[in-house]
Copies of this chain bind each other. A is one copy, B any other.
Amino acid sequence: MSETDDRHSEKMRKIQAARAKIMAGKTIERGLVIVHTGAGKGKSTAAFGMVCRMIGHGRRVAIVQFIKGAMQTGEKAVFDAFPDQVEFRPMGEGFTWDTQDRARDIATATAAWHVAKARILDPEIDMVVCDELNVALRYDYAPLDDVLATLQDKPQSKHVVITGRNAPDELIARADLVTEMTLVKHPFRSGVKAQEGIEF
């Protein structure tokens, strides 16, 4: 083994030891409130990736979509393969700028929130994804106070994943895990259209 390799081994041994020490202190297992926000891509997609993990572990998941309606046709086919584990509820009627009717948007978001709330409080369900709820909260289409109160009352082991741009500060304060997806580069800027598997 060369000197470089020795130095590398020593360095890696130190990283390993430091990491083991950190992990030994992590003993709490509890349901998390997870927020994916920011203007970048991957907020909903990462939530759906978590749903896949839960499916693989035999858990039950509910997904409530607040804004997008016809999107996510790709994921739906996968969820349909696990009907006993996944309940998928697309409750949005398209983007708000497609409806042009504030009263209807509020009614739609309120109905979606009632469905999501019941699943968050249901101890039989392990994870609830509230997809694009942040957008509904931002336009006051869904009641932030009730969302925060429901997260307070949720079963201890329940994971709740909330996606969408502009997550409210109060939600970020309550959340356990917050990731901001930041756009570095986007192909739409060079004329590439939305494509199967990437955007939907």
A residues sitting closer than 8 Å to B (CB atoms) are 1, 4-5, 8-9, 12-13, 15-16, 19, 22-23, 25-30, 32, 34-38, 40-42, 44-50, 52-57, 59, 72-78, 81-82, 96-103, 126-127, 159, 172, 175-188, 190-198, 200
Q: Is the CB of A78 within 8 A of B97?
A: no
Measured CB to CB, the closest approach of chain B to A168, in angstroms, equals 13
Q: Is the CB of A74 within 8 A of B99?
A: no
Given the complex of chains A and B, what is the CA–CA distance between A12 and B40 in angstroms?
22
Measured CB to CB, the closest approach of chain B to A42, in angstroms, equals 4
Q: Is the CB of A19 within 8 A of B97?
A: yes
Q: Is the CB of B32 within 8 A of A187?
A: yes
In the assembled complex, which residues on chain B have CB atoms less than 8 Å from the CB atom of A127?
Answer: 197
Q: Is the CB of B5 within 8 A of A40?
A: no
Q: Is the CB of A74 within 8 A of B48?
A: no
Q: Is the CB of B49 within 8 A of A75?
A: yes
Given the complex of chains A and B, what is the CA–CA distance between A131 and B175 in angstroms?
27
* A-B residue pairs in contact (CB < 8 Å), sample of 21: A16-B98, A23-B194, A26-B188, A29-B195, A42-B181, A45-B46, A49-B49, A50-B198, A53-B74, A54-B196, A56-B78, A57-B73, A57-B77, A57-B197, A126-B197, A127-B197, A172-B184, A176-B190, A178-B185, A179-B182, A179-B183
Q: Is the CB of B57 within 8 A of A49?
A: no
Measured CB to CB, the closest approach of chain B to A138, in angstroms, equals 14
Given the complex of chains A and B, what is the CA–CA distance between A1 and B103 in angstroms?
9
In the assembled complex, which residues on chain B have CB atoms less than 8 Å from the CB atom of A75?
Answer: 49, 52-53, 56
Q: Which of B42, B77, B126 contacts A56 (CB 8 A)?
A: B77
Given A181-B179, A181-B181, residue A74 in contact with residue B100 (CB < 8 A): no
